Chains A and B, each alone.
Chain A
Amino acid sequence: MTEVAERSKILEGLNTRFSSLNNSSDFHAIRQKAFDFINEKGLPHPKNEEYKFTNVTRILEKQFDISKKSGHAVGKSDVDALVFEGLDVIKLVFINGEFSLELSDIEETKGLKISSIGKAIESNDPQFLALFGEATKNNNDEFAALNTALVEDGSFITVADNSIIEKPIALFFINDATNDKNYTNSRNLISIGKNSQVDFLELFSTKGNNDSFTNIVTEILVDENAHGNYYKIQNNNDNASHIGTTQIHQKRSSVFSTYTFTLNGGTVRNNLNIAVDGEGCESHMYGLYVVNGKTHVDNHTAADHIRPHSMSNELYKGILEDNARGVFNGKVYVRQAAQKTNAFQSNKNILLSDTSTVNTKPQLEIWADDVKCSHGCTTGQLDEDALFYLRARGLSKTSARAMLLYAFAIEVIESVKLEPLKNYLEHIISERLHKDF
């Protein structure tokens, strides 16, 4: 099939899906606007600079049966399998995109309001309608728009002012592709009040080996002096494609950290955009991808410094083997008003095979004159001298290699503040470095 024919077929499929949506809620107008945008703009083309190295539109060529809801056999044991040791959380579970009250565990917590997006849409929740799309206002990404047009479910979470939420909130997205392909558009809308503090986890996993596709968007509004950590753990199977957009808006004196761990998947594209829209803000972006096989992982990040006296700090590291491909694009904007900005960025990669590749590109655009910015990218092989040193002390090649790779990865893992997650990552990554790599 020609590419043009293929693309029009994809749009046709999306149209079918869009038409099948309930159009009676107030939210439908928002959907319609987003869908019009896609019809007008089309889906990203490989010639599109933003998607140069990652042909995302091809994911949709897999002809996900657009109107049919896929069945699933996900039970408590599947969720329990994902809950690692010591993880004591408020749990929201989504199966094939749909909220499962039965599998979730939502504890009444002062200052915390949790609802499903599905319910918020259905009930025309005025607070939801007011906050939705606030953070993504300036996002012109086609897949973010597609998510808005087709969103099925997700979480709507608000943290009131002056609230310290002790337990982290974990969002589990489990796709069951055992019998059918599946394609979901999940959305999270999170609003963190003034002086409040809360941690989140987004955990992804797949069952079954049919193709699946998740196009998820998370909007986070961080109010003045609020603190938060957002951990994303992507460990899907080889046939699972994933486009994840995290859109954060930070107000004055807020401190927010994001962590993106990619352990497996088919095509994975992460868009992380942070508007540093207040003085005295701190934004940290950490990422670690440890991938092999044919996994393709693309991290596009953007820190937009709008006001003075803020800092952003970014550290992304990757270990790639076999035919794995990595893409890193880190944008830092420092607007004219954002004097005294400190912005640091670093992307480091180790390639363990001749057939793995990384394309890394820092992109700094600075209009202010009194700023401190630095960036650095490195891609190389494992240090042969270090390997020899350890072997000369009696370590097997496998142990020496695993030790060096672990030492490389640990810098990111160490930044994780949530102890059980840190232990889990330490464990899973060291195990993998011994086995697969």
Chain B
Amino acid sequence: MLKIKDLHASIEDKEILKGINLEVKAGEVHAIMGPNGSGKSTLASVLAGREDYEVTAGSAEFGGKDLLEMAAEERAREGVFLAFQYPIEIPGVSTTNFMKTALNQVREHKGLDPLDAVSFLKLMKEKMQLVEIDQSLLSRSLNEGFSGGEKKRNEIFQMAMLEPKLSILDETDSGLDIDALKIVANGVNTLKNKDNATIVVTHYQRLLDYIVPDFVHVLYKGRIVKSGTKDLALELEEKGYDWIKEEVDATI
């Protein structure tokens, strides 16, 4: 589904991603871990199409198409979804309000008719239940005055509405208490099937008890320096990153 080869990206002439290689197949869950500032969010942003980053080398293919050629909205319409690490506030724009436009533009791209108001509402109700989010929250200005947990649940709600092929969850678990974490994980697991894939970026092994990954990768200094199974996450939880850093820094 997603094939990233030797991907380099910089911002303001500073190279952040220094040759990422990663393949994600349909039905898989990949976890990306790594110390602060290693480039996890940068990778997520580059995949989602943020224009501030300049891709200087490498390629990324999504469903056989050149992902890097596409504008952010095209990627979303093709089925890439990014749950933001820090969802922003947009005064005056409610989730309901922009999701309706978003969903219909995605549907149009797929050659589907727009949803009428009734079907849209029905779909909303269904997805709201999944992440246990209240309708009143969705009709308020996006993220304005939302708690941390509400912001994250809202991201997963949007994911549920759009039913993407590839979901990238950037620290969706950070700052969540255990109840909120379970709700988010349950949402993600319910949406999972053999045709879609998930990349979870996280600092905490805890999430991986609920969303069980097929692969765990460690990103450090802009490269994937170690990959393994979910046992790697447990090892990291126990030993931290220093041993990996030492290994890597010794070879440079």
Q: Do A and B come from one complex?
A: yes
Contact present for A396 and B90 (CB under 8 Å): no
Contact present for A394 and B73 (CB under 8 Å): yes
B80 CB → nearest A CB, Å = 8
Can you name 5 extra interface pairs (CB under 8 A) apart from A397-B71, A403-B97, A403-B101?
A: A390-B98, A391-B49, A397-B73, A399-B105, A408-B92
Kindly state the separation between the CA atoms of A325 and B109 in the bound complex, as whole angstroms.
Answer: 38
Is B48 in contact with chain A by the CB < 8 A criterion? yes
Contact present for B88 and A393 (CB under 8 Å): no
Is B76 in contact with chain A by the CB < 8 A criterion? yes
What chain B residues lie within 8 Å of A367 (beta carbons)? Answer: none
What chain A residues lie within 8 Å of B106 (beta carbons)? Answer: 394
Main secondary structure of the interface of B (DSSP, over half): helix
Contact present for A391 and B92 (CB under 8 Å): no
> Can you name the residue of chain A whose Cβ is closest to the Cβ of B83?
A392
Kindly state the separation between the CA atoms of A410 and B93 in the bound complex, as whole angstroms.
Answer: 10
Contact present for A386 and B90 (CB under 8 Å): yes
Contact present for B73 and A395 (CB under 8 Å): yes
Q: Residue among B50, B93, B158, B162 with the most chain A CB within 10 A?
A: B93
Is B64 in contact with chain A by the CB < 8 A criterion? no
Contact with B along A386-412 (1 / 0, CB 8 A): 101111111111011001101110110
Kindly state the separation between the CA atoms of A40 and B38 in the bound complex, as whole angstroms.
Answer: 73
Contact present for B98 and A392 (CB under 8 Å): no
Is B102 in contact with chain A by the CB < 8 A criterion? yes
What chain B residues lie within 8 Å of A411 (beta carbons)? Answer: 92
Kindly state the separation between the CA atoms of A199 and B228 in the bound complex, as whole angstroms.
Answer: 72
Kindly state the separation between the CA atoms of A284 and B48 in the bound complex, as whole angstroms.
Answer: 44
Is B215 in contact with chain A by the CB < 8 A criterion? no
Contact present for B50 and A388 (CB under 8 Å): yes
Contact present for A396 and B105 (CB under 8 Å): yes
Partner of B101, one of A384, A385, A399: A399
Chain A's interface size range is 20 to 34
Chain B's interface size range is 20 to 34
Contact present for A391 and B98 (CB under 8 Å): no
What chain B residues lie within 8 Å of A388 (beta carbons)? Answer: 50-51, 72
Binding site for A on B (CB under 8 A): 48-52, 71-73, 75-77, 81-82, 84, 87-88, 90-93, 97-99, 101-103, 105-106, 109, 158, 162
Contact present for B50 and A404 (CB under 8 Å): no
Contact present for A392 and B82 (CB under 8 Å): yes
A203 CB → nearest B CB, Å = 26
Kindly state the separation between the CA atoms of A388 and B53 in the bound complex, as whole angstroms.
Answer: 13
Q: Residue among A390, A397, A408 with the most chain B CB within 10 A?
A: A390
> Can you name the residue of chain A whose Cβ is closest to the Cβ of B105?
A394
Q: Residue among A395, A404, A406 with the most chain B CB within 10 A?
A: A395
Contact present for B158 and A393 (CB under 8 Å): yes
Kindly state the separation between the CA atoms of A355 and B207 in the bound complex, as whole angstroms.
Answer: 49
Interface residues of A in 103-137 (CB under 8 A from B): none
Contact present for B91 and A394 (CB under 8 Å): no
What chain A residues lie within 8 Å of B162 (beta carbons)? Answer: 393-394
Q: A403-B93, A407-B91, A407-B93 are in contact. Are A391 and B105 (CB under 8 A)?
A: no
Contact present for B92 and A394 (CB under 8 Å): no
Contact present for A395 and B102 (CB under 8 Å): yes
Kindly state the separation between the CA atoms of A408 and B77 in the bound complex, as whole angstroms.
Answer: 26
